[in-house]
Amino acid sequence: MQIAKVRGTVVSTHKDSSLKGVKFLLLQFLDEEGRLLPEYEVAADNVGAGVDEWVLVSRGSAARQVSGSEQRPLDAAVVAIIDTVSVGNRSLYSKKDEYR
């Protein structure tokens, strides 16, 4: 899994029938210091994440292991919304601090 920040949404009215009802997010990956990397990816949202939230992304065949996604053509899926990230003795990210 990788950590990413939700940067926006992707809307598609014409898509494979197996993807009907699936919400897509535009994600930007983060490094171990919480800095934004130049890499972006579109992922299916399985948890109701919103813009600016930090999320865990499952990629490759693991993205299709989410219940109900086994037959969907997915390469990436958001599987969790992150509450906190700590590295060593310091807090790298806290969701509650982001929304004060």
Predicted confidence (pLDDT) per residue in 29-79, tens digit: 999 999 999 999 999 998 999 999 999 998 866 655 555 555 666 789 999
Which pLDDT score, from 0 to 100, does residue 53 have?
A: 96
Q: Does domain 2-98 fall into CATH 2.40.37.10?
A: no
Which pLDDT score, from 0 to 100, does residue 64 have?
A: 52
Q: Which residues contact 63 (CB under 8 A, 6 or more apart)?
A: 43, 44, 69, 74, 75, 76, 77
Categorize the per-residue pLDDT at 21 as very low, low, confident or very high, splitting at 50, 70 and 90: confident
* 63 vs 9, residue with greater confidence: 9
Say whether pLDDT at 99 is over 80. no
